[in-house]
Each structure stands twice: as C-alpha cells, then as structure tokens.
Amino acid sequence: MIKMSPNNQPRIGLLAIRVSSDKQGLDGDSPEAQREQGEAYAKAHNIIITETIILLESASHETQPMQKVIDVCKDKSKGFQVVLIKSIDRFTRGGGDYYSPLKRQLTRLGITLEDMYGVIGKQQINTLEHTGFKYYWSEFNPTQKSEYLEAERAKDEMRDIMSRMIGAEIRYTQLGYWMRRPHYGFRSVKVDTKNGRRTILKPDENEAKFIIKLFEMRAAHIYTNQQIADELNSMGFRSRVTIVRDKYDRTKIKRQIGGKQMTAKMIDQYASKLVYCGIIKEKWTHDQPVKAQFDGLVSIELFNEANRGRIFVEIDSRDMITIKRRSVPEHLKNKQIYNP
C-alpha cells in the first residue's frame, strides 16, 4: 500500500463502476465489491469520492457506456479532478481505438483517469525539458503504450467470451432448444438432455389458454379477428408487461410497456408464429425450419387450419419440414390508386 505524503492535497473524485452483465453484477465482480475496492483505494491515495456511477450493461453493447461518465464530468461545478476505475477493461472493452479518445476527453477537461491496478501512469515526460521548451509532440506518458495494449487485451477477451457464448447459443438453437425470451404463452424451463442442461419452452399456466383459444376460434372459420379479440379480452387477456431499462445503466428502470388488450391486428401476428406449433424458424437457423425439442401449444393441423392457407406447415415421413406461404397478389405489391 502506498502511503500518503503530508503534502498531498486531497483530490475530488468520481468512482465509475461497471459490470458487463446482470450475472456478473451478482457474482464476484459486483457493484458492491467494486465500490468497496474503490473506497479503500481512494482512502489510501487521498481521493475524496463525491459521486459514484454504476453502469450495468451488456459486454456486446456498441455504444461506449463510459461516455455517460465523461458527460457528467463536463459539469465543472462538480469539481472532479480524477475518475477512478477498477481496471482498464472496466473502462472500455472496445480496444485502444476507443480507449484513447475516451481518455483524451478527460484530459481536455483537466481530469485524471486512474485505475486501482496502477497500469495507468500519472507521469508526463517532456523530451525537451533540458532546453526549457515544450511542444505537444515532446510531451508523452511513458505508460501510454502499455495502456493501449491492455485495452486491446480487454477487447480480445470480450471477443473470445462473446464467440463462445453466442456460438453455443446458435448451435443449440439449430438443435431445437430455445435461447431467447419466451413468447407469450410459454415459460422457459431448464431440463437435463443428452446435450447437457438446456432451455426449452413449457406452457405458461396463465397465458397459454389465450393462445389456444385464439387458434381454436380462428380454425372454426366463423369468427372475424375482431370477434376473436373481443372474446380473448373478455377472458382477461393482457399482453405481457416488459420493463424498459436505461441503455447505459441497466439498474435504472425507465418505464414499463405492455399490459394491453388484444386487437384484431395482433390476432394475425400471434397466429403466424411457428413456435406455437413446435417449430423454430429464425436468423440463427438460417431461416430454415427446425423441429423444436419441446411441444407447441397447438398441433400442426390446428395451426394450418387457423392460418387459412396463408402459412402451411408440412412434415414428411423423414421428418423434413416444409413451410409454404401464400404469395402476395400482384395488385398488393405495387402502390396504385386503389391500393393507397
């Protein structure tokens, strides 16, 4: 531990805490753990922490979340002299090309970036000091290269982590497991399979009845979409409530969306989702149909009947899945006076 000199003046600091996922935020690198480390470091280095910002966001986020910290530092009334971070990989995982401009913004504000591991040096060397002159090119930080390399290492680590995680999710999706948020009517359940512990979908006891009723009424061919929507609403249908979080700080809730009644337009949207008959067809399957490792809410026969020929699912004796869609009439493809 570095001991403070009595001549050292206390510095006003902002503690920037960042975790790259909700899970990491609950594990060893939690905001609380980083806060404790930061407060201990600040006490040992004569830094007075007057504000703490916690950023909880995805490691794949293209927007640099630390830009929010820099924007806060632009308020000169706060008097920040140092931004304290745990390490360079907590500052950015975008590599040296992102690290240097972010740090440069702080430098222009007269604010020092400091990490708890001591990688970021504080010394500035002027190669013309012996002459009594100084130019922008003669002054440099001797640790700048090592800082850049550390930022690149963090970027490489993020790429490796994302490649392993997303690669596995793509593979398991193609095998028929579910890697995304469950659609309305389903809930995610982890089960033991020959491919390890994987996620499948099971009927949600509160939502599934509405989807099943929707398909049954559509298949009867005697109800309009509006009549089906009215019936589902009378049964108590409400769309699933979703929490919208701040794109930089995932701990902050901005608003809630959903909780709406069924509409005639939504009937077609729900009826066309192949997952309701146990088939996955999406980007990660290269838009090819895959038999899910779980049962749908309705049979393929009921799905076909409910979609009235707009979408037709066929499975042959070799379990090959064919999806047929009714072609759009030519008069609907081009905007004409009678097709505004």
pLDDT band at 55 (very low <50, low <70, confident <90, very high): confident
More confident residue, 221 or 245: 221
Q: Residue 86 pLDDT > 70, yes or no?
A: yes
Q: How many CB atoms lie within 10 A of CB 331?
A: 9
pLDDT at 335 over 70: no
Paired with 15 in beta bridges are 52, 84
User: 82-85 and 112-115: which strand pairing?
Assistant: parallel
Q: How confident is the model at residue 62 (pLDDT cuts 50, 70, 90)?
A: low
Q: How much is the pLDDT for 93?
A: 87
Give residues with Cβ within 8 angstroms of 128, minimum separation 6: 134, 135, 138
SS3 assignment, position 198 = strand
**CA 312/CA 324 separation, integer angstroms:** 5
Q: Average pLDDT, whole number, for the chain? A: 88
State yes or no: pLDDT of 337 exceeds 70: no
Quick check: 73 pLDDT over 90? yes
166 versus 5: the higher-pLDDT residue is: 166
User: Considering the chain, what percentage of its residues have pLDDT values greater than 90?
Assistant: 68
At residue 6 the predicted structure's pLDDT band, cuts being 50, 70 and 90, is very low
Q: 3.90.1750.20, 3.40.190.80, 3.20.20.10, 3.40.50.170: which CATH number matches 186-333?
A: 3.90.1750.20
Give CA 329 to chain center in angstroms: 39
| pLDDT over 80 at 322, yes or no | yes
The Cα–Cα gap between 301 and 289 comes to 16
Given the DSSP bridges, would you call strands 82-85 and 11-19 parallel, antiparallel or unpaired? parallel
Which pLDDT band, with edges at 50, 70 and 90, does 270 fall under? very high
Whether 266 shows a pLDDT value over 60: the answer reads yes
Q: What CATH superfamily is the domain 11-156?
A: Resolvase, N-terminal catalytic domain (3.40.50.1390)
End-to-end distance of the chain based on CA atoms, in angstroms? Answer: 74
The pLDDT tens digits of the residues spanning 228-239 come to 999 999 999 999
Q: Which residue has the tokens 């399957």?
A: 285
Q: Calculate mean pLDDT across residues 98-102.
A: 91
The mean pLDDT value for 240-269 works out to 86
Contact of 232 with 262, CB cutoff 8 Å:
yes
| SS3 state at 258 | coil
Phi/psi of residue 84, each to 5°?
-100, 130
**Overall average pLDDT of the 122-133 stretch:** 90
Residue ranges per structural domain of the chain: 11-156, 186-333
Contact 15, 49 (CB under 8 A): yes
| Averaged pLDDT for residues 314-335 | 77
The fraction of the chain above a pLDDT of 70, given in percent, is 87
Q: Is the pLDDT of residue 285 over 70?
A: yes
* The predicted structure's pLDDT at residue 329: 64
pLDDT of the residue at 192: 96
Residues 22-42 have pLDDT tens digits of: 555 445 568 888 999 999 999
pTM of the model: 0.78
Residues shown for the chain = 340
C-beta of residue 120 within 8 angstroms of C-beta of residue 134: no
